[in-house]
Amino acid sequence: MVLANHQEIVVGVDGSPTSTAAALWAAAMADRLDSPLHIACAVQEPTFYMAESVMVIPEEVWEQQRRTAEGIVDEAAKAILERHPYLSVATHVDAVPSAEMLVDLSASARLMVVGSSGTGLVLSTLLGSTAKVVADTAACPVVVWREGAQDPNSPIVVGIDGSATSAAAIAMAFEIASRLEVPLIAAHVWSAASQAGGVTLPLLIDWAAIEKEESVLLAESLAGWVGKYPDVVVERVLRQSNPAHTLVDLSEHAQLVVVGSRGRGPVRSALLGSTSSNLTHHARCPVMICRVRS
């Protein structure tokens, strides 16, 4: 399995309520997956500046920032260990831009978790725009935490389109569903525009033939994984609709939605890219974005 040598789950925190909730979610997932947890907080190194009657010494400002960051990771670790006393937890503070720190840590991580937005106490901006950069460039799957279903028995949803990143998403979704002992909803949603080169031409398209092709794609995408994980109950969803809207709807009763970072072909690539972006803003549960690990 691709994840065999990448066991650590990394979560970025900045002291905001969103990042704290993301850290608690990451801890619960790490506990259920038997993975160690790494809590990371980045602060930008301060620069020297002067005002009319004020001079701030960079070293003093930096030490204050570092102490604040260390307090943030320590508080997060304390809250996590109260809930998961046997979980292996490490903390990390670094004076680099947050996105750079998290992307670097992703090289050896099993999973990266960030909040969808943040208004933290540290001068660097950890979440929001950073979450997008990390989701776009991290070497491992990235979970953008969004508040969602609290039932640990809720299903996992995976979006499928036949691309390489979709295959990576399927692999992750099956593994997590198996480890968590929850059902998996496998959704392949195709649109009229994607079948007509970006233009809807209903009179010129054999919809019955296309639906058959899409059904075959879904079946072939799942075939090997259904055999590898016979314990996972799979519900198949095949629908002609807007992929983002359908996955957002399915997310309402899910504990996690898993998608690839990009789709297949020039049109589908843009479509799934926009789908994953849409989900990180509108899904009703955490969203995992997968890519092919190099």
Structure tokens at 233: 């109950």
Out of 109-118, 186-195, 218-227, which region has the weakest mean confidence (pLDDT)? 186-195
**Structural domain boundaries in the chain:** 2-145, 156-290
CA distance 211 to 250: 21
CA distance 232 to 229: 6
List the 184-190 sheet strands across, edge first: 89-94, 37-42, 8-12, 109-115, 142-145, 287-290, 256-260, 156-159, 184-190, 234-240
Structure tokens at 16: 């905001």
- Beta carbons of 266 and 214 less than 8 angstroms apart: no
pLDDT for residue 126 is more than 50? no
pLDDT for residue 5 is more than 50? no
CA dihedral 18→21→22→23, nearest 10 degrees, is 120
Integer CA distances (angstroms), 217 to 211, 233, 267, in order: 10, 19, 17
Q: What angle do CA 179, 182, 188 make, to 5 degrees?
A: 105
For the domain made up of 156-290, give the CATH fold.
Rossmann fold (3.40.50)
Residue 47 pLDDT: 55
pLDDT for residue 269 is more than 90? no
Q: Tell me which residue of 238, 259, 257, 260 sits closest to 249, measured CA to CA.
A: 257
- Beta carbons of 115 and 131 less than 8 angstroms apart: yes
CA atoms within 13 A on the CB side of 175: 16
Label residue 289 by pLDDT band (50, 70, 90).
Answer: very high
Q: What angle do CA 197, 198, 204 make, to 5 degrees?
A: 60
For the stretch 183-217, pLDDT in tens is 999 999 987 655 555 555 555 667 778 888 899 99
Domain 2-145 has CATH 3.40.50.620: yes
In the chain, count H helices and then E strands. Answer: 9, 12
Label residue 52 by pLDDT band (50, 70, 90).
Answer: low
Residue 124 pLDDT: 41
For residue 17, which amino acid is it? P
Integer CA distances (angstroms), 100 to 40, 42, 106, 125, in order: 12, 9, 10, 12
* Topology alike, domains 2-145 and 156-290: yes
- Please count the other Cβ atoms lying within 10 Å of the Cβ belonging to residue 69: 28
pLDDT for residue 236 is more than 90? yes
Q: For the whole model, what pTM was predicted?
A: 0.85
